[in-house]
Amino acid sequence: MRKVSVLGAGTWGTALAIQLAENDNEVTLWSKLPREIDALRADRKNVPNLPDAVLQDSVILTTDLKEACTGKDLIVFAVASPYVRSTANEAKAFIPDGQVIVNVAKGIEESTMMTLTEVINDVMPKVETAVLSGPSHAEEVGRDIPTAVVVGAKRHETAVMIQDTFMNDYFRIYINPDVIGIELGGSLKNVIALAAGVVDGLGLGDNTKAALMTRGLTEISRLGVAMGGNLETFLGLSGMGDLIVTCTSMHSRNHNAGYLIGKGYTMQAAMDEVKQVVEGVYSAKAALLLAAKYNVEMPIVEQVNKVLFEGRTAKEALDDLFTRARQEEVNWSK
């Protein structure tokens, strides 16, 4: 049994707290928002946004960040990506050097182009960071629907410790040393999922979405390899796996926001309708900046940015993608 804290009591943090408690860990679930903790205390069998999930009575609920960060074997960062830096800044006074922190949010910080483990290490250089990612909607993880994800860490023993802490008969954990690849796969697929939602909102077919997802994976892999990631990672759970589920599922807030944009909503109106953080909107600009920095062609990401921030219509963006100059799928000379 390990002492584990989950920072962030949204749907994903709560679903992971349920899994951790089922593995007989001593679990603390923290939120900065008293209303979230009050709601969970009031009815652990009616968890907000997690139908049919039950939060065990053994899970300690708190708004005290010092309590949540003191004396833990593992700290899970489950706050939404725009709040990772601010949460790290608030928590650093209570987190000792060498503390193992696993980030489970998916995103890239727009202002710095850092991945989220890089953000945590920027604030707390002496902690040990890892990442957990993959095709894992909280709505299913909270109900013990069989799910497989991957943990990335620099040290094998750290990856194994996190694997042992989370893994059970219906939450399967793989390990992988490619931290940057796992983080980029989990972040960039949200941008492609916005585009997939747009395709559905426009009323187009399976052929169109399959093309978009396939070429989207090419863009993710191209940038990821340029940044030092392993191509095999992008063909795995945090790449292809997460892309498939996020582009096709009714649980995907990124797909749902894209669908509304395809129906004519503005970006802000779509986000307001979804009522949750749409990570792809926050990662889109950073992805485009990274593409320019590493001289990588990412036409889908480019068009998503134009729709989100430059007033381009979804139909115009799709037309631009399909009327681009002819391309080779693989290098013909090979």
Torsion of CA 259, 188, 136, 274, to 10 degrees: -30
| CA-wise closest residue to 238 among 156, 149, 159 | 149
323/318 Cα distance (integer angstroms): 9
Strand partners, 56: none
What are the φ and ψ backbone dihedral angles of 265, each rounded to 5 degrees?
-70, 150
278/252 Cα distance (integer angstroms): 9
Strand segments, DSSP code E, in the chain are 3-7, 26-30, 60-62, 74-77, 100-103, 128-133, 147-153, 171-176
Strand partners, 176: 152
Give the active site residue among 72, 106, 189, 285.
189
Strand segments, DSSP code E, in 170-275 are 171-176
CA 268 vs CA 9, 198, 302, 308: distances in Å: 24, 15, 19, 9
Active site residue 189: yes
Contact 130, 162 (CB under 8 A): yes
Torsion of CA 61, 66, 69, 72, to 10 degrees: -90
90/103 Cα distance (integer angstroms): 16
| CA-wise closest residue to 92 among 62, 68, 108 | 68
Exposure pattern of 280-295 as b/e (b: 16+ CB <10 Å)? Answer: bbbbbbbbbbbbeeee
Q: What is the DSSP letter of 127?
A: S
- Enzyme catalytic residues: 189
